[in-house]
Structure 1
Amino acid sequence: MADKNSNNDNAKQQSSHFAVKSKDQSINGATYFTATDLKPEVEAKGKVLVIYTGGTIGSMPVDPDDPDSPQVVVKWDNYTKRTQEFDPTSDTFIGCRIDAYALDVPLDSCNVGPAEWGLMASIIEKHHDEYDGVVILHGTDSMIYTASALSFMLINLKKPVVVTGAQMAYLFNSRNDGKQNMITAIMFANAKLSGVPVVPEVCIYFNHVLLRGNRARKQDASGFDAYYTPNFPPLGTAGGRLFVDERLILPIPDQAFRVVRTLEPNVLTFDVYPGIQNTDLARNILSTKNIKGVVLRAFGTGNIPTKDSFLKVFEEANNKEILVQNVTQCLHGFVELGMYETSAALLEVGMVTGFDISPEAALCKLMVLLADEDLAFEEKKQFAQRSQAGEMSRSLYIQTLKQTKALEVRQDGEPVRLAPEGSIEGNWTGPKVFNASLRLYGGHITLQGDSEFIEIEVYLNAKTGDVLDRTSPNFAGSFKRRVAGADANKEMIIGLDVTAAARRLINGGARVAAILRIVQGQGILSWKDADLAVFIDERR
């Protein structure tokens, strides 16, 4: 066995280029280390700030003489002693400046949460303009939560933030994934060193793939291929060379970088399962003291049991301003809440759609969104349904409409115009419209005479007095509606698909009006409120 003192002396020589810069640079809970004595050609290759939190990548056996003894997370100085890639005198030196913040108490990632995310965000805010990128060394258990949370906390991020770790520590294992994950994460974070495009996102790098952090899911508890993004391609790959797909990365924002530090921790996730509607579990969960938000993992495209007493639980939660976001239990695909009339019951009780967001990203997004004191509850619901940091493939923008005449359309009456209340938000154009629906809330159809249906025509952005016919560029469609016997006395959400017209006529920022008239059949169409829901494909 090698002499321990000799090993320690060598280790000290390797780590001599790191020094604590000053107490002023350190932050409560983390100490700042800076590289010293670097050559000008090294300084020219850019700078990366490493945030060392702990995890398997920084673990060693508690007994150095017994590799099977329990592993503990070592401190930063111990980590750097065993990392030749940080030593500018080593043949394997990575080739650029590496400075670091190390948590004063390195953590297993099971113990990383909102307080630590706030600390990381503060560090990044302090040095955002100083470094080419940031690498966070992190345990694998909660890595996707950290990456997701930071993606919503770091607003208008202009630099790469790459989170990585290991399934097998390299500090004492010759065969490991930790060292290559760490080296390659630094290269993706430093475009000057690697030559790849700048990726202004919070990413996860693991086992040859660079992933959007808020899209990642953990698929293997111990294998090296631990993470993937089921609903989005990798941003980059690492093989014989590094590659970044510039078509996929978010644009570098023009607005000033800023940080959100306050999070609402009183959110939770729970699953729908067969039979839950016959228990009090959902009511008990939604009655939890101080609860502010719920990520509901639903069947398939967002379906849940439709028993009246079960739906009533969610309606009561909405009335208490508890935000419930519907996400799918499936790894692939979308929740389609609000896109079709079949999901009307869930809209009526106040649920919002999560499209293809992961449950982990949805939870972190709600933590950030629900802590925003400047947003009213209904505004928070709208923002929850829009992609904030590339976490969803679709976004929903809603234009509230008001009636300029009666709240009903009669076959023998004048057309009714629904005027816009403000502008529809967003920076998108017609070709990005995936679906658009005119939604009439509290809708009711009364058939008269021998009519079996009524046919409704819809026009978008037509003016009062315009000629209304199907050759008009404002014509948005005609819709036949029948009334089933069981629904004769029910109020419901009536959805009218106006997608084709929306693609021609609507852009983000526009004011959108609608005109309705009955052109066939005898009857009355009435409603209480109306809106235009525009679903945007963020991938186009």
Structure 2
Amino acid sequence: MTNPPNILLIYTGGTIGMVKDYKTNALKAFDFSQIVDNIPELQQLNCHIKSISFKEPIDSSNMNIKYYVDIVELIEKNYTKFDGFVILTGSDTMSYVSSAVSFMLKNLKKPIIFTGSQLPIGDLRTDAKENLITSIQIAASQEDGKPVLAEVCLYFEYKLYRANRTTKISAEQFEAFTSMNYPPLAESGVHLNFNKHLIHQPKNKHDELIVRKQLANDIVILKLFPGIRKEVVQSILEIPNLKGVVLETYGSGNAPTSKSFIKLLEDAIDKGIKIVNVTQCAGGSVIQGHYETSVALNKIGVINGKDITTEAAIAKLMHLLNKNLTVLDFKFLFEKSMRGEITEVE
């Protein structure tokens, strides 16, 4: 008989960690060290749970790469002691944070599940308990003594997604996230059902975890809209020390064909700035060169983001820009799947 899995719960901040003081009606921080006492249902799970909380909880709006590194260092420090990790963060930036963490960890062989809630854990109608309980259950799920999952995921409202495929789509609905270009890895109903054919399987089972903590944030998102002025585009592309641009284009990667616009992009690329073409659409893929309106982008060296999300594109740029790669190697690595963030057509 195998020992029950050990799960580490890491609370960084966010709505999920708030409870109401009914005397004052004010929200205060939930004590996750007493989680089993406060949520007795967790005793029904066949696992041991320990928790660590940031000294000062971080609102999701204040998330930055320093906290990404803090999260990853907690995982690194405790990686051999625990069989799975559940990370609680604010939902507003959860797709950005979890996407970044997926690139910061190579050769991952244990589940890392991000979750949170739309209502505080102490609220009468909260979604926090279900999200938390099921995330822990997923992190503890094993077959033949090995974790069912070995990737960074995001669980919310009965669905488990690959984290770097997600986008937050609602500020009010409990079903706050979606993954338009990749199906759920698991769905929770009467039973917890894993879609095993969609789950990443580690290729080299003996490779040790590699942690990448160097991230570049000299990056900008440039979202196109009809009538955007040349001066606006120029001012963005001339930001001092700019290294990368996520260019949010129309449809399947289309952009204005005016010579002045293309020249601005070309000049930026010539200066070494990496420009990635990502669609503004919620779902679907960039097919660069498919229409005349994206042929010029191909010619000047714009990188094809394919069906990557904006959140994952930012994370991937942060990861790759510090690697001192040649132009060709950078383009090759960005356009291929590194952590399951892009659909590769066989």
Structure 1 residues 241 and 194, CA gap change in structure 2 (3 angstroms): farther
Residue 410 of structure 1 aligns with which residue? none
Displacement of 1:332 in angstroms is 1.6
Cα offset for 1:321? Answer: 0.7
Q: The residue matched to 2:196 in structure 1 has which SS?
A: coil
The one-letter code matched in structure 2 to 1:388 is M
In 1, Cα distance between equivalents of 2:88 and 2:164: 17
Which residue identity does 2:242 align to in structure 1? Answer: I
| Paired positions, count | 344
2:88 counterpart of 1:137: yes
In 2: Cα distance, 1:199 partner to 1:231 partner = 20
1:247-306 Cα offsets, whole Å, 9 max, x none, are 101112313321110100111112111112x43111100111121101010011111001
CA contact (8 A) 1:208 1:239 kept: yes
Distance in 2, matches of 1:279 and 1:72, equals: 48
Residue of structure 2 equivalent to 1:337: 288
Residue 76 (structure 2) aligns with: 125
Deviation at 1:342, TM superposition (A): 6.3
**Which one-letter code corresponds to 1:289 in the other structure?**
P
- The Cα of 1:241 is off from its aligned counterpart by 1.1
Question: For 1:109 and 1:189, how far apart are their aligned partners in 2?
Answer: 23
Say which is worse superposed, 313-322 or 188-197, in terms of deviation. Answer: 188-197
* Residue 15 of structure 2: aligned partner: 56
Structure 1 unmatched ranges of 5 or more: 1-40, 87-91, 395-536
* Counterpart in the other structure of 1:260: 212
**Per-residue deviation, 1:324:** 0.5
Deviation at 1:93, TM superposition (A): 4.8
Distance (whole Å) between structure 1 residues aligned to residue 58 and residue 78 of structure 2: 23
Letter in 2 for 1:393: T
Distance 1:93 1:297 in 2: 46
Partner in structure 1 of residue 132 of structure 2: 182
Equivalences for residues 94-493 of structure 1 within 5 A: 94-171=45-122, 173-192=123-142, 198-254=148-204, 255-276=207-228, 278-338=229-289, 343-373=294-324, 375-394=325-344
1:128-187 CA distance string (max 9 Å, x none) = 23322110011111111111001111111111100001111222x232110111010011
Cα deviations across residues 29-79 of structure 1 (Å, max 9, x unaligned)? xxxxxxxxxxxx9x9211111111121110134x54133x4x344454476
| Letter matched to residue 302 of structure 1 | G
SS of residue matched to 1:185: helix
Q: Which runs of 5+ in 2 are unaligned?
A: none
Distance 1:48 1:194, change over 3 A: farther
* Secondary structure of residue in 1 paired with 2:110: coil
Aligned counterparts of 2:45 and 2:55: Cα–Cα separation in 1: 25
Check whether the contact 2:33–2:51 (CA below 8 A) recurs between aligned residues: no
Q: Is the 8 A contact 2:245 2:276 kept in 1?
A: yes
**Cα distance in 2 between the residues matched to 1:273 and 1:74:** 43
1:179 and 1:195 mapped to 2: Cα distance?
27
Residue deviations 1:333-355 (CA, integer Å, cap 9, x gap) = 11011467763311222211111
**Whose helix fraction is larger, Structure 1's or Structure 2's?**
2
Instruction: Give the one of 21, 46, 62 matched to 2:5.
Output: 46
Superposition RMSD in Å: 2.3
How far the C-alpha of 1:193 sits from its partner, in A, is 9.3
Counterpart-to-counterpart distance in 2, 1:118 and 1:79: 25
SS in 2 for 1:124: helix
> Structure 1: how far apart are the matches of 2:238 and 2:28?
39
Aligned with 2:74: secondary structure?
helix
Percent identity at matched positions? 38
Counterpart CA distance in 1 for 2:278 and 2:177 is 20
Contact conserved, 1:58 with 1:79, CA < 8 A, in 2?
no
**Contact in 1 for aligned 2:96/2:311 (Cα 8 Å):** yes
- CA displacement at 1:243 relative to structure 2: 0.9
Whether the aligned pair in 2 keeps the contact of 1:194 and 1:242 (CA below 8 Å) is no
TM-score (ref. length: structure 1) = 0.60
Cα distance in 1 between the residues matched to 2:85 and 2:6: 9
Change over 3 Å in CA distance of 1:339–1:124 after alignment to 2 = farther
- Give distance in 2, aligned partners of 1:194 and 1:187: 16
Q: TM-score, normalised by structure 2?
A: 0.93
Provide the rounded CA distance (Å) in 2 between the counterparts of 1:365 and 1:282. 23
CA 1:218 to 1:196, structure 2 compared with 1: closer, same or farther past 3 Å?
farther
Deviation by residue 1:72-103 (Cα, 9 ceiling, x = unmatched): 444544766633356xxxxx453321122211
Distance 2:65 2:278 in 1: 22
Q: 1:371 to 1:174 in 2, by over 3 A?
A: same
CA contact (8 A) 1:151 1:213 kept: yes
Q: Kindly indicate whether structure 1 or structure 2 has the higher relative contact order, using CA contacts under 8 Å at least 6 residues apart.
A: 2
- Alpha-carbon offset, residue 390 of structure 1: 0.7
